[in-house]
Amino acid sequence: MTTPDGFDFDALAQAVIDGQAETAGDLTRRALDAGIAPADILERGLIAGMRVVGVRFRDNIIFVPEVLIAARAMKAGMAHLEPILAACGIEPIGTVVIGTVKGDIHDIGKNLVGMMLRGAGFRVVDLGVNVALPKFLAAIDEHQPQIVGMSALLTTTMGQMKTNIDAFRERGLDRRLRVMVGGAPVSEEYARTIGADGYGKDASSAVQRAQALLDELKAVRP
Ligand code: B1M
């Protein structure tokens, strides 16, 4: 699909599918220069491409190396969006500690959520991928966040979120922080079942939920 000003979202999606990092970066830059909204570039270009990659991966048409190359292309595009999504320059409204849970190394969605949270004025402490419970606990101790965010992309690692939430509760941390979860296999209902306070279907709903959780927490602990 081409915009009235001639930007071709399909070409950007295709660059991700083909793993053309340089092209994905150039096209993202061009789209920004043409005044296209970062959210559109993400959704209609970069994420649209990665969606196709996901289907081909699931159907065994492509394999891990191709997916990694596509992920690199997506990151090349995201690198241009990050300064814009994260631009804010005011006092942080709160702190979020975020990480992909133990056993899971998917980080594209988590990075996107982190970028958008920064853009909304949060200080974000990103613990990276394959984050085990002790690392979350140490970061909570060190950074005193109002929100802990956990991402999981595998059905085999989703359970780790519950393990962590149970451990936070055992330590009484639920009295002073809120937990938000997300990732492709996670749903609102699953989030509720495991005792999470919030769920984000995508990065922008994650930001809305984080803002609501922060307000809620401030009302209880001003
Ligand atoms: Co993986 N992988 N992968 N993979 N991979 C999936 C997840 C899979 C669905 C592919 C498929 O079969 N169709 C499948 C999981 C099946 C399942 O569990 N049911 C799968 C598999 C099986 C695997 C391996 C086991 C493959 C293997 O080795 N045989 C392996 C596991 C490795 C491990 O983690 N231990 C593996 C490896 C990899 C790569 C390393 C090759 C690569 C990751 C590269 C990277 O992240 N740096 C990769 C990728 C890229 C994918 C797919 C194709 C794309 C994921 C992605 O980046 N999406 C994925 C297929 C898919 O999801 N359609 C797949 C784009 C991203 C923007 O979306 O991450 O969903 P997403 O994030 C969204 C929302 O979910 C939400 O907001 C984000 C922005 O909108 N969100 C949050 C995410 N986190 C949030 C946190 C929040 C709130 C919202 O609050 C804190």
| pLDDT tens string 15-29 | 999 999 999 999 999
> 67 C-alpha vs ligand 1 centroid, how far in Å?
10
* 75 Cβ contact partners less than 8 Å away, ≥ 6 residues apart: 21, 108, 111
Query: Using alpha carbons only, what angle is made at residue 175 by residues 192 and 92, rounded to the nearest 5 degrees?
Result: 90
9-88 maps to CATH 1.10.1240.10: yes
pLDDT at 135: 98
Task: List the structure tokens of 97.
Answer: 């500690």
Residue 152 CA to its chain's centroid (Å): 10
Task: List the structure tokens of 187.
Answer: 């749903």
Residue nearest to atom 85 of ligand 1 (CA): 182
Query: Using alpha carbons only, what angle is made at residue 82 by residues 81 and 86, rounded to the nearest 5 degrees?
Result: 120
**Ligand 1 mutation pick, 40, 57, 165, max ligand atoms within 8 A of CB:** 57
Domain 94-220 belongs to what architecture?
3-Layer(aba) Sandwich (3.40)
pLDDT at 58: 87
* Mean pLDDT value across the chain: 92
Residue 61 has pLDDT above 90, yes or no: yes
**Ligand 1 mutation pick, 41, 112, 153, 164, max ligand atoms within 8 A of CB:** 153
Helix (H/G/I), strand (E/B), else coil: 76: helix
Residue 118 has pLDDT above 70, yes or no: yes
pLDDT at 149: 98
Query: Using alpha carbons only, what angle is made at residue 100 by residues 98 and 104, rounded to the nearest 5 degrees?
Result: 175
Average pLDDT over every residue of 73-102: 86
Q: Where in the chain is the domain with CATH 1.10.1240.10?
A: 9-88
Q: Is 206 in the pocket of ligand 1 (CB under 6 A)?
A: yes
pLDDT at 215: 94
Which is nearest to 78 in space by CA: 111, 106, 48? Answer: 111
Q: Pick the atom of ligand 1 nearest to 42's CA.
A: 67
> 60 C-alpha vs ligand 1 centroid, how far in Å?
15
How far apart CA 189 and CA 118 sit, in angstroms, is 27
Residue 62 has pLDDT above 70, yes or no: yes
